[in-house]
Amino acid sequence: MNTATQVQSTSTQTADFLPILGTDYIEFYVGNAKQAAYYYQHAFGFQPVAYRGLETGYREAASYVLRQGKVTLVFTTPYHPGNFIADHIYRHGDGVRVLALTVPDARSAYEETTRRGAKSFLAPTTLSDSDGEVVLSGIHTYGDTVHVFVERTRYRGPFLPGFAPWSGFGQSTPVGFKYVDHCVGNVYLGEMNQFVAFYREVMGFHQLISFDDKDISTEYSALMSKVMANGNGYIKFPINEPAKGRRKSQIEEYLEYYHGQGVQHIALATDDIITTVRELRRRGVEFLETPKAYYETLLERVGPIDEPVSVLEELGILVDRDDEGYLLQIFTRPVQDRPTLFYEVIQRKGAKSFGKGNFKALFEAIEREQARRGNL
């Protein structure tokens, strides 16, 4: 690294009032955390880390913590009705409650964001056990979703104070997930810019990319989206709002079934999408189908790629290119009965964008198939 770069990156960090080291964990409120943990361990390859519940002396809810690479997921189910968690599940079904961010200073994160207008979720709180201490604080974002700031430099336990090591349900092997690439929120029509402003003004994020309904418009799935990223670029939060299509958009469908705004999808990065997706499919993870026609013109659209098109077609993996390189991606079906949360598996080969080209290419592929059937 040369001196100019060092100076530049130092001054960038100095200007960042909310330094974030990464995604700390994502917590889901679910109807049956024990079975969700089994699913994520055996289907998605997450490894057991920690548990908290009746057996550890915690009488409100059971929580299971699993990890793969830098991705930590927590699944929580309450033992009784008449509390916020139970109400959240009743209203939203299984879904994401907490997008937690690792910060060097949770008190400062709380003060800087609430001073700029964030609604408080959790005033700075120190938790401790024999493994040390963690400081947590939190603010609200879209819907019932919250950001928890986690300061864990003085903690050496498996997860958070109060959690015990947990060995899971038998053995499973990881599938190659490395880190959270991005987490997407769906918000109501007309509210995208309000949340863009929230991430810019309250959290100091900047807007990466903007595309509108002319870019992403299909008969089924019109949407508008803006991507907000933090200072070091580790955290990317695209925000979607529905746009008018000829039919109900997928964003409207989500909002209707989630009964509110919330996390639409979590993109998990892999270094080898072919191996990851092949293994996920073998384990029964369901993916969206890609029309055969998508692959007929793939190389014309994206130019030369390292992967054989026949293998991408066999697995349904999509490709998109931008100025800096290309990316491979695929989307799961929703992972619960409500058509709400799903996952994206992504491998970046230089590209820093989000696969915008695939919306249009997929739409055109669908139209070609309709035309072959004489239905266009």
Could you write out the three-class secondary structure of 54-87? Answer: HHHCCCCEEEEEEEECCEEEEEEEECCCCCHHHH
Nearer CB in complex with Fe ion: 31/339:
339
| 3-class SS of residue 265 | strand
- Identify which of residues 141 and 172 has a Cβ nearer to Fe ion in the complex: 141
∠ CA(179), CA(114), CA(147), 5° rounding? 25
Q: Would you count residue 24 as binding Fe ion (CB under 5 A)?
A: no
Write out the binding residues for Fe ion, residues 249-278 only, by CB under 5 A: 267
To Fe ion, the closest distance from the beta carbon of 293 in angstroms equals 22
Stretch that binds Fe ion, among 101-109, 201-209, 219-227, 338-346 (CB under 5 A): 338-346
Compute the distance between CA of residue 345 and CA of residue 319 in angstroms, rounded to an integer: 12
Please say which residue, 181 or 279, places its beta carbon nearer to Fe ion.
Answer: 181
Nearer to Fe ion, 78 or 355 (CB): 355
**Min dist. Cβ of residue 96 to Fe ion (A):** 14
Helix (H, G, I), strand (E, B) or coil at 190: coil
The token pair that represents 373 in the structure block: 């059937």
Distance in Å, CB of 181 to Fe ion, minimum:
7
In degrees and rounded to multiples of 5, residue 203 shows phi and psi of -110, 0
Q: Which is nearer to Fe ion, 267 or 317 (CB)?
A: 267
The per-type count for the chain, helices as H runs and strands as E runs, is 11, 17
Cβ(155)–Cβ(180) below 8 Å: no
Smallest distance, Fe ion to C-beta of residue 183, A: 9
Residues in a beta bridge with 321: 326
Shortest Å distance, C-beta 132 to Fe ion: 35
Residues 341 to 360 in contact with Fe ion, rule: CB under 5 A: 344
Shortest distance (Å) from residue 311 CB to Fe ion: 22
Q: With b meaning 16 or more CB within 10 Å and e meaning fewer, what string describes 10-46?
A: eeeeeeeebbbbebbbbbbbbeebeebbbbbbbbbbb
Q: How far is the CB of 366 from Fe ion (least distance, A)?
A: 19
Separation of alpha carbons 272 and 317, rounded Å:
12
Which residues lie near Fe ion (CB under 5 A)? 267, 344
